[in-house]
Chains A and B, each alone.
Chain A
């Protein structure tokens, strides 16, 4: 006979699981730390984000007066810091309140829980998303609305990446920006809030206005939604790689190869 302590006891890390349950949360913590850290550094750095005609997606739209003339919008003069910080709130808010990322960081950083059927630190004080600050996760749809605007500018900047001083052309950077836009779009189209707003809130499609069209739209978003985690990771990694590529071209570490 063995002691009952390990069987019914509750406490951090207590589990009878024998697999390496700690691998996924550690991997997610490292991945989010690495790419989140790079993106934060790139946003705060404030230079080498434009290599004509490419604009780093982290700086899109570029609305401060310090932005290069070719891609400047609005030209806000009172902003002395990196122009990307102005848009960072929307991006951070959208990803930070995303239902997938919530799972990722609740598990990886807050260890709440660290993995399924594994004990955790807090006991009765747990309030989930019923109180501040986590109740603010309910604002996700507002960040979705704001991100539509950024997505439109990102689309414009991607198209801009195909127009060089001598006219239309395709460089490696143009392709990189296009892939980045596709990945970000895939992430955006799989948003749970979008899925709800576009048709998930309808119970009776044959009774609702444009019900069939809304059901089709809901089905389409559901396809992306099933793969939301994949889109979330690929888009996060690739947006950092796109920034790095443009940064290295802007720093003249190498020339952007022109395909035609």
Chain B
């Protein structure tokens, strides 16, 4: 068995520091396995959030060598043999303890999105729709709310615009509602004002880190931005709406 050194963030808030642990590692281990071994052998009080170990619950999000990753899906073999691995909590969120971040703010953002509002039923047992027209919304439903996109988004991470911008996770949620063929709610005013979609400057980091490979920028954020343009920045569309209303 080979040995590897891990530098793990220990502490609460911004007052923590990196602590080094050297452990024996086995073939096929992922970063979360290593964290568990550190817990078992060196630091039983090391706090880490995890659940499914299968990349589907989104609980074990951290930063591995500075990059937002699910620790359960990050293989040690992805790194050079002998290279130390740094594991830190998500930078865009306050730290509760060690690797556990406080993501409750994100849930408040979720609550602010105008709810799904279906059109009247087409049939007694519900609605009728074709598979091809629900596919765009289904892509958004793959989101596991791991918050890696919120973490890497520079609007939140570097500029701290948590109050003004709901972030990519909840733009994906909004797109999941708005692209649904039976939804009739107009969310463009919400997106422009309290959603703060204008803060996004399309740098695509959210798409790069998504473990579910959702094309967040191209398939969620830009289509929503274009809907905001339809409503607020396109005089021709405004004229068409006016004529239709009359």
Contacts and interface: CB of A to CB of B under 8 A. Distances in A.
The answer to whether A and B interact is yes
Interface of A: 1-4, 7-8, 10, 15-18, 99, 102-103, 106-107, 112-113, 116-117, 119-120, 122-124, 126-130, 134-135, 138-141, 192-193, 196-197, 200-201, 203-207, 215, 225-226
B219 to A, nearest CB: 9
Contacts of B14: 4, 8
B179 A113 contact: no
14 contacts: A1-B18, A2-B17, A7-B9, A117-B66, A117-B152, A123-B159, A126-B158, A128-B200, A129-B200, A130-B199, A196-B223, A201-B227, A203-B180, A206-B181
Nearest to B222: A192
B68 interface: yes
A216 to B, nearest CB: 10
A203 B230 CA distance: 14
A10 B159 CA distance: 9
A112 B201 contact: yes
Interface string B168-208: 00000000001111110000000000001011111111001
The number of chain B residues touching the other chain, given as a range, is 35 or more
B15 A4 contact: yes
B155 A128 contact: yes
A192 B218 contact: yes
B218 A129 contact: no
Highest count of chain B CB atoms <10 Å: which of A8, A122, A129, A193:
A8
B181 A126 contact: no
Contacts of B95: 8
Given A10-B158, A103-B203, A201-B226, A225 B198 contact: no
Nearest to B87: A16
Given A4-B17, A192-B222, A205-B133, A129 B65 contact: no
B17 A1 contact: yes
Interface of chain B, helix or strand or loop or mixed? Answer: mixed
Contacts of B114: none
Rank and list the top 5 A-B pairs by shortest CB-CB distance, nearest first.
A16-B66, A116-B205, A130-B198, A128-B199, A17-B66
A209 to B, nearest CB: 13
Interface in B1-44: 7, 9, 11, 14-20
A102 to B, nearest CB: 5
A141 B158 contact: no
Contacts of B205: 113, 116-117
A2 B7 contact: yes
A206 B202 contact: no
B97 interface: no
B107 interface: no
A127 B160 CA distance: 11
Contacts of A124: 159-160
A134 B201 contact: yes
A141 B235 CA distance: 12
Contacts of B232: 138
A7 B226 contact: no
Interface centre among B66, B88, B178, B223 (most CB of A within 10 A): B66
Contact of B208 (A16, A106, A116, A119): A116
B86 interface: yes
A16 B88 contact: yes
A136 B154 CA distance: 21
Nearest to B137: A203
B245 interface: no
Contact of A7 (B16, B183, B218, B230): B16
B141 to A, nearest CB: 15
Contacts of B204: 103
A128 B67 contact: no
Most buried by A among B68, B91, B208: B91
A18 B181 contact: no
Contacts of A127: 198-199
A203 B17 contact: no
Q: In this complex, which of B20, B91, B152, B202 has the most chain A Cβ atoms within 10 angstroms of its Cβ?
A: B202
Of B18, B133, B181, B201, most buried by chain A (CB within 10 Å of CB) is: B201
